[in-house]
Amino acid sequence: MRGLMMDYPLVIPKILERARRVYPESEVVSYHADGKHVYNWGEFFGRVVRLMNVLRKLGVKPGDRVATFAWNHNRHLELYYAVPCMGAVIHTLNIRLFPEQLSYIVNHAEDKLIFVDDSLLKPIEALAGEFKTVEKYIVMGESGKFETSLSPVEEYEALMSAADDTEDFPEIDENDASGLCYTSGTTGSPKGALYSHRAVYIHTLMACLADGMALTDMDTVLPVVPMFHANAWSVPYNAAMMGSRLVFAGANVMPDNLVRIINAEKVTMALGVPTIWNGMLQHLRQSGERLDTVHTMLIGGSATPKSMIEAFKKEFNVDIMTGWGMTEMTPLGSTGRLTRKMTDWPEDKKFDYLAKAGRPSACVEMKIINDQGEELPWDGESTGELLVRGPAVVAGYYKNEEASKAAISDDGWFHTGDVAFIDENAVMTICDRTKDLIKSGGEWISSVEMENATMAIKGILEAAVVARPDEKWDERPVVFVVPSPGETGITPAHILKELEKEFAKWQLPAEEDIRIIEEVPKTSVGKFDKKVLRAKFL
């Protein structure tokens, strides 16, 4: 027997309509190089309608891919809605990719248009001759004045001024594609995650739950995570769904500017990768500034050091919530919030928990398997590869059958490539990426655990651990360390002495394998780029 329920499509236009109807006065604030732009969700709706008509006039049809090459700002947000709401697919291009990767992605996706910020024209100009399907470029900026070799080219605001404001929302199947994000391509060519409207809608609901981001219309949210990376962790959709006030920092994400914006706009929640908040922590300590309105920072992208979580809470009364996910999961997979049973735990134990990846998000199932494919218990000890499934997890990669078969098991589970364990409280801990584990004398050493322990040492700003080949032990750990600004007392001998408190003797690096460097190289989304460390130093 089937239930008697309405046929209600879970599509992005429903999120947009909710923002207009329920929270029309809540603001979207966007910082640009030449000033600040402010409008509300009601006015935003009208802009999206005009942009949908612009896209139609430019020849965009349902299913066409429309690319963006832009920072976080209001025009980028308009594209986040207008493109999928008229049935096309928004493809956010990572502005920090290598040229050959960018060219590959545009051609693989068969992008029809590229919307590009006026400050980011040069990379697109350099590659335009290699793009096979791009028919036109639309330049976004405040002044409307720019010089470019791109052709044919249009200016965003000129198109918007001449656009029709007639509402025309087509019927969309919830399983139709809405967005396309490519992985950063750490191994092989980048792979495309093609999101459906249904996946984005369900992900938005689960991300807004109390055990997720817990957004309300009382919040002012600052996503420092780029809009070109994994849907900006879905914040553009979450904020609209819940009527949150949304703030974009634009191109300047230096700590001093972020602190200025946070305090000026009374931001309550901010989101970004650990390197962003590590830099902010150092700036706050040096400047004496405060973050009086921020109650939560969501940190994801890589492991969050316990020392950072503890410092923000004790020194600035800011709660750190860890999050784990993947581009292929739209992207949220787990979040770390204290539960009722943890209320009376000792403070240090609470910080230990908050440094973990957290419990599975609603609509996400997890399991751990060993090398034989056997499921392991949630006992906090059994370690293996993490597999996930759910309505917002991809069932394969866009136009890549080989990668799809490798990633999806016959029974429908997605292989994350992360090594993890889950404890009796359903709390998941990422030990490492499979490719970053260090195998020494037949035993495994977690680079993540050693990085966190190193960054907990006073006077250390950043640390990254990779493996070097070793004739006797197969592999041995190499620790790269960046001292805090002005710190002169950090030596390999001092670091080794501190690590001896946390690791067995066989796990410890040799003193000559602890290397002081000026900066840890970063990937396009701010994670430590270990492949560059290996190529440059080993």
Q: Could you give the CA distance from residue 104 to residue 101 in angstroms, rounded to a whole number?
A: 5
Name the catalytic one among 349, 399, 439, 458.
439
Decide the pairing of beta strands 220-223 and 269-272: parallel
Name the catalytic one among 68, 183, 322, 454.
183
Name the catalytic one among 328, 385, 451, 462.
328
CB-facing half-sphere around the CA of 82: CA atoms within 13 A? 27
**Active-site annotation holds for 444:** yes
Q: Could you give the CA distance from residue 414 to residue 408 in angstroms, rounded to a whole number?
A: 5
Q: Could you give the CA distance from residue 280 to residue 498 in angstroms, rounded to a whole number?
A: 25
Of the candidates 470, 422, 430, the one whose C-alpha atom is nearest the C-alpha of residue 447 is 430
Element (H, E) at 234: none
User: Is the CB of residue 194 less than 8 Å from the CB of residue 89?
Assistant: yes
In this structure, the number of other CB atoms found within 10 A of the CB of residue 19 comes to: 27
Q: Could you give the CA distance from residue 335 to residue 329 in angstroms, rounded to a whole number?
A: 13
Q: Could you give the CA distance from residue 206 to residue 189 in angstroms, rounded to a whole number?
A: 31
Name the phi and psi angles at 373, rounded to 5.
Answer: 85, 10
Q: Cα angle at 260 between 256 and 266, to 5 degrees?
A: 140
Name the catalytic one among 444, 473, 491, 522.
444
User: Is the CB of residue 181 less than 8 Å from the CB of residue 327?
Assistant: yes
Structure tokens at 149: 């070799």
User: Is the CB of residue 407 less than 8 Å from the CB of residue 396?
Assistant: yes
Element (H, E) at 515: strand 514-516
Q: Could you give the CA distance from residue 21 to residue 45 in angstroms, rounded to a whole number?
A: 10
Q: In sequence order, what are the beta bridge partners of 479?
A: 465, 514
Q: Can you list the positions of beta strands (E) in 118-172?
A: 136-140, 153-155
Q: Could you give the CA distance from residue 437 to residue 473 in angstroms, rounded to a whole number?
A: 14
User: Is the CB of residue 375 less than 8 Å from the CB of residue 367?
Assistant: yes
**Active-site annotation holds for 183:** yes
Give the distance, in angstroms, between the CA of residue 453 and the centroid of all CA atoms in the same chain.
Answer: 24
CB-facing half-sphere around the CA of 428: CA atoms within 13 A? 29
**Active-site annotation holds for 443:** no
Q: Which residues contact 102 (CB under 8 A, 6 or more apart)?
A: 93, 94, 123, 127
Element (H, E) at 23: none
Catalytic residues: 183, 328, 439, 444
